[in-house]
Structure 1
Amino acid sequence: MQLAKESLSLCEVAFRLCTIEALEMCDAGDLDQLRLLGLPLIHTSETHVTLSTRLTPYEAQRYCVVDIECNASDPAKGQVIEVGAVMLEGQVEVGRFESLVHTKEIPPAIETLTGISLEDVSDAPSLGSVLEAFRLFLGDAVFVAHNVGFDYYFLSTSFEQQGFGPMLNRKLCTIDLAQKTIESERYGLDFLKGMLGIKEEGRHRALADAKSAAEIFLTSLEQLPPEVCTAEDLIYFSKPNPKKRKIKPKKT
């Protein structure tokens, strides 16, 4: 995203966003509306904007560490049945989100894996109400997850299906970040939890896994190289094999 590198005029930003099919019903020139979708835009002048993550020190950034449980691996065939999230401001926890979601179908394999039964979700709030509440909780924080591609895609698609528009939040994967900052044989959540001595609170439950991912994330922050200064630096550093420049983590 060009905004991660420089300021752009509002007209150019609006033009580029208008080419995105998922945003065709949005006012691409309305910064408040874009922030509600998670795009952290700030003015750098009267006519230009950039991403706040580009200017915010990574220690001061808000990160929402998320985990979801679903009754299928594809949002076209299933839905979210639990959302858990930990909000961090720098290295301090400032909030938590946790909710089961009503559904009429939980396959036996999913019930065995998560321990979530139809009885558990019979009186849970609807998917739309949970997503609306979670979107308000998330705001324009950086979206963080262990295997972020799955959680981000599933939730963004679910938001769109419910008529809330897509997520535009910046995102970061704790697997990728851990691979650059933590020496380990494997980088699955359970393996890292055991290696780092993270307390087991409930395997394959959303909030418990979000809390574990948050601890992995905080451990990684302790091993960042000095070149990582801003939140956007951190996002860039976490990506696998950046082509333009490489930043090596400190030796431990």
Structure 2
Amino acid sequence: MPVDFTAIDFETANPSSASACSVGLVKVRDGRVVDRVHWYIRPPFPHNDFSEWNIRIHGITPEMVADAPGWAEHLPALREFAERDVLVAHNAGFDMAVIAKTSEAVGLEVPDFRSLCSLQVARKTYHLDSYRLPVAAMAAGFEDFSHHDALADAEACAAIIVHAAKRHEAEDVDRLAHITRVPFGAIGPVATRERRAEHGPMALQ
């Protein structure tokens, strides 16, 4: 199987995981970027206040998303773009929480996605003083990008996974996860059922 996945990065309006205001998506097929997209998102009430700290980090203001579609419109497009891919993100727990919490905030079922954290993969691949996205991306040969721009961050994340797969001679992301011993994350109903199936019998022993 080839190195196929979708890299994803969110920016949020405030500390709430349900305040998604921007997302970047990068589709990788056979270790190459074949498609990319960026959307502004109007955060749902009551998670739509923009903190000064977040604005300072990513530069997105309330005015920039005032006329943007909400999450209910973006989620189907995200699912169509990502198809059945593993979603890769730097500190993937954050980005998966954004999908889950923003979906819940607008009354949508949390979608099923597996995820792989490029931060954890980088820790098992490089010897660096820091594993922040710009530093890890530089180790992968991806430099001079606009950090905290969602699309640029997703591209940097994709570069880390592609480079790590080559370095570990992994033919796909499942093999890369196995070699680096980085567990997959998961959200959605299927993930919940799998966790119950896995831990239920153990709890009875």
Residue 207 of structure 1 aligns to a residue whose secondary structure is helix
2:13 pairs with 59, 63, 71, which one?
Answer: 71
SS of the residue corresponding to residue 144 of structure 2 reads: coil
| Shift in alpha-carbon separation, 1:196–1:154, aligned structure 2, 3 A | same
How far off is 1:213 after superposition? 0.9
1:119-138 alignment, distance < 5 Å: 119-138=63-82
Give the letter for the 1:117 counterpart: T
Structure-to-structure mapping, 1:234-245, within 5 angstroms: 234-240=176-182
- How far residue 188 of structure 1 moved from its aligned partner, in angstroms, is 1.0
1:114 aligns with 2:58: yes
**Unpaired runs of 5+ in structure 2?**
184-205
Say if 1:171 and 1:235, in contact at 8 Å, map to a contact too.
Answer: no
- The answer to whether the 8 Å contact 1:176/1:239 transfers is no
Corresponding residue number in structure 1 for 2:41: 101
| Matched-pair contact (CA < 8 Å) for 2:4–2:31 | no
**Equivalence for 2:21:** 81
Deviations 1:66-103 (A, max 9, x none): 0000123333xx41000101010120112112101124
> Could you give the per-residue CA deviations for residues 198-223 of structure 1, whole angstroms, max 9, x where no partner exists?
23232211101111111111111111
| Higher normalized contact order (CA 8 Å, seq sep 6+, divided by chain length) | 2
* Cα deviations by residue, 1:125-145 (Å, 9 ceiling, x for unpaired): 122112221122122101100
Number of paired residues?
Answer: 179
Structure 1, unpaired ranges of 5+: 1-56, 242-252
Is 1:192 matched up with 2:136?
yes
| Alignment correspondent of 1:45 | none
1:158 to 73, 79, 102: 102
AA aligned to 2:148 is H
For residue 218 of structure 1, the aligned residue among 162, 174, 194 is 162
Q: Deviations over 1:31-87 (max 9, x none)?
A: xxxxxxxxxxxxxxxxxxxxxxxxxx2x2x530100000123333xx4100010101
Q: Quote the Cα distance in structure 2 between the aligned partners of 1:128 and 1:158.
A: 9
Task: Check conservation: 1:147, 1:175, Cα contact below 8 A.
Answer: yes
RMSD of equivalent CA atoms: 2.1
Matched, 1:180 2:120: no
